[in-house]
Amino acid sequence: MAPVLRLRDLGWTVGGATIVEDVSLAVDEGEFLAFIGPNGAGKTSLFNLISGLVPATRGSIGLDGTDITAEGVPARARRGLGRTFQTSSLWPAMTVAGHVRLAAQAADGGSYRIWRRARPYTDRVGRVLERTGLAGRAGVVAGALSHGEKRKLELAVLLVGEPRLMLLDEPMAGVSAEEVPALTALIRSLHRDEGRTVLMVEHHMDVLLGLADRLAVMHHGTLLALDTPRAVMADRTVQQAYLGEAL
């Protein structure tokens, strides 16, 4: 059985500068793979390559055994690949339910006009908001949400498209310490209870150690290590590379 995701010698060079270099890895269905590394290590750039935001200049990307290297973002989304970002892309004046309904329409290939075809999505939107703990905030505009609630809304927008493979780029960024446990529990549930495959970039090691099956360490655009969290944390090469750096 082919892995859900396979990267072979994946690289990205811009203007002579190598941002990502020869990354190869395979991710099995239902696995949780976390990426760590300091700022500038290439983690988000790798996610940009996998999700199709930037074109690979070397290597290939396989999804369910199909080469998707040349496909764009919409085509990859239709194949079940979904992505969240470090920086929120929510509309401050749009309601929570409006965001999820618009995402549902887009996932179905329908109109982006928010006043059209609202009723057919009511139940679907309601289920996703319930799943993410936002049912009581459906009518609240995004600008009035806490950082933790905004992150939950971004997950709701992602989930309504029913992704099989979720790329979460620093979902804890900007979230208060009080809100981290609930958001962590939600991500854990999406992975373990629903069997979704998750790739996540995160700087909170205490969060990752309770979620990840494997850790991938990025360093200067390369994959320095890939193993269980315990093995990675004990790896002398990783320790030397991060001497003086907080993982």
pLDDT digits (tens, 9 = 90+) for 128-152: 999 999 999 999 999 999 999 999 9
Q: Domain end: 162, 195, 221, which one?
A: 162
Q: Would you say 73 and 28 are in contact if contact means Cβ atoms under 8 Å apart?
A: no
Catalogue the E-assigned strands of 110-240. Answer: 165-169, 197-201, 214-219, 222-227
What are the CA-CA distances from residue 47 to residues 4, 5, 50, 144, 157 (Å)? Answer: 15, 12, 5, 29, 18
Percent of the chain's residues with pLDDT above 70: 93
| 75 and 184 share one domain | yes
pLDDT band at 69 (very low <50, low <70, confident <90, very high): very high
Residue 243: pLDDT over 60 = no
The pLDDT score that the predictor gives to residue 109 is 74
6 and 58 belong to one structural domain:
yes
Nearest by Cα to 151 from 86, 82, 81:
86
- Flag whether pLDDT at 114 surpasses 60: no
C-alpha 106, offset from chain centre: 18
Please give the pLDDT value at position 21: 97
Helix (H) or strand (E) run with residue 213 in it: none
Name the average pLDDT for the chain: 91
Q: What is the pLDDT of residue 98?
A: 94
Q: Which long-range contacts (CB under 8 A, 24 or more apart) does 203-211 make?
A: 203/36, 203/170, 203/172, 203/246, 204/172, 204/180, 205/36, 205/247, 207/172, 207/180, 208/34, 208/36, 210/184, 211/32, 211/34, 211/184, 211/187
Q: Do 152 and 175 fall within a single domain?
A: no
pLDDT exceeds cutoff 60 at 33: yes
Q: What is the CB neighbour count within 10 angstroms for residue 178? A: 9
Stretch 5-24: mean pLDDT: 96
- Tell me how far apart the alpha carbons of residues 116 and 97 are, in angstroms, rounded to a whole number: 14
For residue 197, give its domain range.
Answer: 1-80+165-247
Q: How many domains does the chain have?
A: 2
pLDDT digits (tens, 9 = 90+) for 76-110: 999 999 999 988 889 999 999 999 999 998 888 75
**pLDDT surpassing 80 at residue 119:** no
Q: Which of 162, 186, 214 is the last residue of a domain?
A: 162
Q: 3-class SS at 97?
A: helix
**Residue 147 · residue 174 · CB < 8 Å:** yes
Q: Please return the burial class of 140, using the count of CB atoms within 10 Å of its CB with bins 0-12, 13-18 and 19+.
A: middle
Residue 71 and residue 172 in one domain: yes
CATH code assigned at 242: 3.40.50.300
Residue-wise pLDDT for 192-224, tens only, equals 999 999 999 998 888 998 899 999 999 999 999
β-sheet bridge partners, residue 62: 6, 67
20 shares a domain with 5 = yes
CA angle 152, 194, 104 (to 5 degrees): 50
Cα(87)–Cα(50) distance, rounded to whole angstroms? 18
Residue 229: pLDDT band with limits 50, 70, 90: very high
129 φ, ψ (degrees, to nearest 5): -65, -40
Rounding to the nearest 10 degrees, give the CA dihedral for residues 226, 230, 231, 232. Answer: 50
Q: Is the pLDDT of residue 12 over 90?
A: yes
Q: What is the structure's pLDDT at 113?
A: 55
CA distance 203 to 217: 11
Residues 170 and 241 in one domain: yes
- Look up residue 4 and give its amino acid: V
Q: Do 138 and 169 share a domain, yes or no? A: no
